[in-house]
Amino acid sequence: MIVRRHSTGYNFLGDTGTGLTLRWADGVGENPVYAPWPELADISISNHCSKGCDFCYRDSKEDNSFMTIGQYEKVLAGLQHERWGTVFQVALGGGEPLEHPDFKKIIQATCDRGIVANFTTNGERLNEDIVGFLRGKIGALAISAARIDQIDTGILRLLAGNEIRTNLHFILDNRSIAQGIDMLRGKYNDILKHVNSVIFLTYKPKGRAQADKCLELDSNLRMFLNLVNKNKCSCSVGFDACFVPLLMKHTEVNVDCIDSCECGFFSVYIDENMNVKPCSFASDDSYSFNLNDCDFKVIWGKKYDKYRKEVLKNRCNSSDCANKSQCRGKCVYFEDLQFCYVN
């Protein structure tokens, strides 16, 4: 199905079959400032997880903090707009989505509304039953890892056998960057054989993730950046929004192909308590509004105006970046992640 939205200064086209999305402003060479309705909702369906990853920014535990199926239906109903329809896709997270007792119902409810369902998982609960259920129902899933030896190639094979597009979310900190470099050099192509895309995630110092592992612009990160354009990875390579300033300043990647931070402009985050925030990594509640008290239309259309104005001030410190005007600049939440201006 092709989803289309057109208004002044904003055009969107999305193919639910392939996941391809395109957006442009009045002319195809221009970027819209923000969307009249979000294209993507990042929804935490719980904060319950039994794995205990030391990098978990949500500090997820076995605490039974689940969004109920009724609440999830209410969230989806709130994301329905009389003119714009619903969001094109959701990215379900947590907590561990596969430990949610109603995970299958959540996927089904998403499909029933014509929304593309995607989710991230630690991978531990993937088995033949759940993979068989997911076949033909989701856009993609992502398995999180902070080390190569955490990747289960048997599971990747099972997913590929069921035609499920699988990405690897590789968390890049000042230790895992050594394996990130080797990945770009093609050293792990055997392991990545069934992976659609490796997405490098900038390590965020939040929850259980300690600040001493944050990336810095040292020789390793420079080497990594240097390899981006000539990487020998067998699958495609992508980056999270926090990586964008580094890509813009220190690589040859075509800036026309890079989306700056989309949070609160094209995407939105909703947690298991139905709090709506621009970004899942929001480190304070300054732009947090609860769906029980406030209509989503009001949040997106009015309440986020101030946030957008704040971000568009572009607090970037760099005096010599050719792509400064294309970048959303310094993250409003994480000072420590802004180091692209170091020469």
Ligand X SMILES: C[S@@+](CC[C@H](N)C(=O)[O-])C[C@H]1O[C@@H](n2cnc3c(N)ncnc32)[C@H](O)[C@@H]1O
- List residues binding ligand X (CB under 6 A): 49, 55-58, 93-94, 96, 120-122, 142, 144, 169, 171, 201, 203-204, 209
Closer of 25 and 131 to ligand X (Cβ): 131
Closer of 210 and 229 to ligand X (Cβ): 210
102 and 76 Cβ atoms separated by less than 8 Å: no
Structure tokens at 201: 């995630």
Closer of 16 and 150 to ligand X (Cβ): 150
Region at 24 (left for phi over 0; alpha for psi -120 to 50; beta for the rest): beta
**Cα(89)–Cα(115) distance, integer angstroms:** 5
- Tell me the closest approach of the beta carbon of residue 157 to ligand X, in angstroms: 20
Closer of 3 and 171 to ligand X (Cβ): 171
- Tell me the closest approach of the beta carbon of residue 232 to ligand X, in angstroms: 24
**Best CA proximity match to 150, nearest among 122, 177, 130, 119:** 122
**What residues contact 105, with CB distance under 8 A and at least 6 apart?**
69
Closer of 247 and 321 to ligand X (Cβ): 247
**Best CA proximity match to 332, nearest among 262, 268, 283:** 283
- Tell me the closest approach of the beta carbon of residue 71 to ligand X, in angstroms: 18
Q: Which residues pair with 10 in a beta bridge?
A: 7
Closer of 205 and 329 to ligand X (Cβ): 205
- Tell me the closest approach of the beta carbon of residue 141 to ligand X, in angstroms: 9
**Cα(251)–Cα(224) distance, integer angstroms:** 10
- Cross-sheet strand order for the sheet of 138-145: 236-239, 197-202, 166-172, 138-145, 116-121, 89-93, 40-44, 267-270, 275-277, 289-290
Q: What is the DSSP string of 142-157?
A: EEEESSGGG--HHHHH
Closer of 214 and 217 to ligand X (Cβ): 214
Q: How many residues does the chain have?
A: 343
- Tell me the closest approach of the beta carbon of residue 65 to ligand X, in angstroms: 13
- Tell me the closest approach of the beta carbon of residue 230 to ligand X, in angstroms: 26
- Tell me the closest approach of the beta carbon of residue 343 to ligand X, in angstroms: 26
- Tell me the closest approach of the beta carbon of residue 115 to ligand X, in angstroms: 19
**Cα(169)–Cα(200) distance, integer angstroms:** 6
Closer of 57 and 307 to ligand X (Cβ): 57
